[in-house]
Structure 1
Amino acid sequence: MNKKIIALAVAAAAFGTQASAVELYNQDGSTFSIGGHVSVSAKGNSESEVGGTDIIANSPRINFTATQDLGNGFTADARGEYAINYLDGGENAFTTRLGYIGVTHETFGRAVAGTQWSPYYDVAGIADMPIAFANDFLYDNHGALGTGRAEGMVSYRNDIQLGDNLSIFGGLGIQDSQAGFDTRGQVSLGANFADFMVGYSYNAGDRDVNARSENAFSHALSAKYGSYGNGLYVAGVYTMNEYMHTTANYNVDKFTGPVLDESNGIEFIAAYAFANSLNLSINYEAVESSDKAIVDGTVYSQMAFQAEYNITPSFVTFAGYQLDLGNDQNEKENDMWNIGVRYYL
């Protein structure tokens, strides 16, 4: 695991994906910081009976991260991250998003235990970038299926540098059994060369479907060029699945439909960030099903045009309009829009 990768791994543990956090302590090889972000936006749709215009929070969170130099090249880190329900209040003001302990070494790699972003997501999440609209199908029961944040997971990752512009990376993950889901495993492999990345991941384990046990598995293939928010960025993800997806759209009804026996997911994004920090993007997403008993065709398909602008490195405005491109479920098309601001701690 080369020094550049270990530095990025520890920085991500300390500060999150946005390079902004408040470091409260740094002494004798120990650090402690607070990070996260809060957002407020107006979100609406073309069908008022579906919900009209709402003021929403766009996945706000706060995290607390500590790191400790263990010596001999090892660094430990621990993170707790919590979703903040600051618009509705009530008893569930905070809910857990992440909670893990990790150990990283520049040669031996990185091991993590707890609720964490999964190795599968390392490969499949490369198009999940814009604030307003992004890769919905990854979040269909993602905590139990390990396609996004994976609950109760032990993982290992490493990145091996083969030259100045070439490295290969891999990851393994095992999840505890949960209600309706047996123990799951996943493996990810890929390569970085210059500004390009290609990757593959396999994710499998049994789940309960209609009072029977079925092997729910996914193959994910992805490729990207560039770095999101820095000039040109292009990325695509294609998944082949059995018993992984439901019939619902995350933006409308949070995946409450029946489980599909076979499905394919696709996500593509092209973005360009100008020198003044204006980032324009277009993304396309669709889920296709061959389950003749439920949906034989398009579950949903959508395309979004989006813009993000950093007024300061910590204060971002964003806007997006998502076109509903239709489905084969006889559901009415419903375009959506979202405009708001985000502040990174």
Structure 2
Amino acid sequence: MKIKLLAALVAATACGSNAFAAEVYNSEGTTLSIGGHVSVGVGEYKSDDDVSVEQVSPRINIAGTQDVGNGVVVDMKGEWAVDYLDGGDTTFTTRLGYIGATHEEMGRMVVGTQWSPYYDVGGVADYPIAFANDFLYENQNRMGGARAERMVSYRKSFALAEDGMVNLGLGWQGEHTGVLIDNDPRYQVALSAKMMGFGVGYSYSGGEREDNGNNIVDGTSHIFSMNYGSYGAGVYAALVYGMNEYFYDLLEETVQLEGLLAYGMDNGLNVSVNYEAVENDKTSKTIFSQSAIQFEYTVAPSLVTFAGYQMDLGDDDDDTKDDDKWIVGARYFL
């Protein structure tokens, strides 16, 4: 098994933020690593106006791989969000939990709670630490917008010329019975390509679900993305556009837009500006719109400091535009 190919396929199911893990065991085709990060900051980070100490998506994970022969490597990952400021009964909540199998020729299959093929396309603008792509996480677990619960996925990469790659992703989630809303089985397909630093992608997510009146409707989303460069290394630009029916907040028709422009300097400083908006396409009203400027500085490979200010650009139901947010903090990778 080529290690570079395995790494590329496994990365296809990893989150869009920086990845860092410490290997604690490696022997005879078996590895075990511990990773995650602790992230804290001070600011007005939530919807209230109070300055407070906040956590910024901290997590801890355990991952392992096993070479089972015949070109197949099996891997597993368990990851938990950590509420280390409040504690109590919900100190740990599940983020990821899956088993995967990768073959150099056949591709990669993953079963469990995982980053979805839909996110492979839509997550290209979801990199900044403090403020990033919010609309992907709307009911993400059941709809598969970012992390998808109880999913079976398949991915395969194809070489295109010397420096190009085409990626195919498929996903399936079984029927989900909720407290208020039920989902029938959901399906995803994702197709992306990258060459000479430029990337394009398209993903579709579909399946029947109940609306607020318990009527059966098709909950679908088409998402398109373009990106250039590598986040944190020189110029990086990304654009994500989505069109939905009963997919976002159970609204009949919505469109969503996320743009990110960043520049990573050789001294470890990365500066970014993003814009995000969701519109009710049925009524032509803006649900929310916001923009943020952020700074991230890599002090050491395992330590990144950050600061961000997000401006509330308003919506058609609230013209006060008074929900600006800011935070200054640090992220330490385990």
- TM-score normalized by structure 1? 0.91
Which has the larger displacement, 202-211 or 301-310?
A: 202-211
Which residue type is aligned with residue 282 of structure 2?
D
Q: Work out the number of aligned pairs and report it.
A: 328
Corresponding position of 1:133? 131
- Of residues 174, 177, 183, the one that matches 2:175 is 177
The residue number in structure 2 matching 1:303 is: 291
Per-residue Cα deviation, 1:2-53 (whole angstroms, up to 9, x for no partner): 8644233346779995342121110010001100001111231798xx3422
> Which residue of structure 2 aligns with residue 150 of structure 1?
148
Does the residue aligned with 2:207 lie in a helix, a strand or coil? strand
Taking structure 2 as the reference length, the TM-score comes to: 0.93
Counterpart residue number, 1:254: none
- The answer for the alignment partner of 2:253 in structure 1 is 262
Equivalence for 1:249: none
Q: Does residue 1:160 correspond to 2:158, yes or no?
A: yes
Rounded to whole Å, the distance in 2 between the matches of 1:4 and 1:27 is 19
2:186 matches 1:187:
no
3-state SS of the aligned residue for 1:125? helix
Other structure's SS at 2:272 match: strand
Deviations 1:294-338 (A, max 9, x none): xx4111111100000011011110011111111111253121111
Q: Among 216, 221, 225, which residue is 2:219 paired with? A: 216
SS at match of 1:95: strand
Tell me the distance in 2 between the aligned counterparts of 1:224 and 1:199. Answer: 9
Match of 2:24 in 1: 24
Residues 242 and 22 (structure 1), Cα distance of their counterparts in 2 relative to 1, 3 Å cut: same
Q: Secondary structure at the match of 2:252?
A: coil
How big is the shift at 1:194? 1.5
2:272 maps to 1:281: yes
SS class of match (1:158): strand
Q: Does the CA-based 8 Å contact 1:13-1:79 persist in structure 2?
A: no
Contact in 1 for aligned 2:233/2:263 (Cα 8 Å)? yes
Alpha-carbon distance in structure 2 between the residues aligned to 1:237 and 1:16: 14
* Alpha carbons 1:13, 1:77 under 8 Å: kept: no
Question: How far apart are the structure 2 equivalents of 1:135 and 1:188?
Answer: 18
Provide the C-alpha distance between the structure 2 equivalents of 1:236 and 1:12, rounded to a whole number of angstroms: 19
Separation in 2, partners of 1:209, 1:172: 25
The answer (yes or no) to whether the contact 2:36–2:61 under 8 Å persists in 1 is: yes
Gaps (5+ residues) in structure 1? 247-258
- Alignment partners' CA distance in 1, 2:157 and 2:175: 28
Aligned with 1:199: secondary structure? strand
| C-alpha RMSD over aligned residues | 2.0
Distance in structure 2 (CA, Å) of the matches to 1:133 and 1:15: 15
Give ranges in structure 2 of 5+ residues lacking alignment. none
Secondary structure of residue in 1 paired with 2:125: coil
Aligned to 2:324: 335
1:123 to partner: Cα distance: 0.2
Q: Deviations over 1:55-109 (max 9, x none)?
A: 2111110000010011122111011000111000101111110000000112111
CA distance in 1, matches of 2:117, 2:4: 19
In 2, Cα distance between equivalents of 1:190 and 1:14: 16
3-state SS of paired residue (2:262): strand
Separation in 2 of the partners of 1:45 and 1:160?
A: 42
- The equivalent position to 1:114 in structure 2, one of 112, 115, 124, is 112
Deviations 1:249-299 (A, max 9, x none): xxxxxxxxxx3110000000000000011000000000011233xxx4111
Contact 1:2 1:160 (C-alpha < 8 Å) held by counterparts? no
Per the alignment, residue 59 of structure 2 pairs with 61
Determine the C-alpha separation between the residues in 2 that align with 1:217 and 1:266: 16
Q: CA–CA distance in 2 between the matches of 1:62 and 1:9? A: 22
Counting only pairs closer than 5 Å after superposition, residues 198-209 of structure 1 correspond to structure 2 as 198-209=200-211
8 Å CA contact 1:198–1:224 kept in 2: the answer is yes
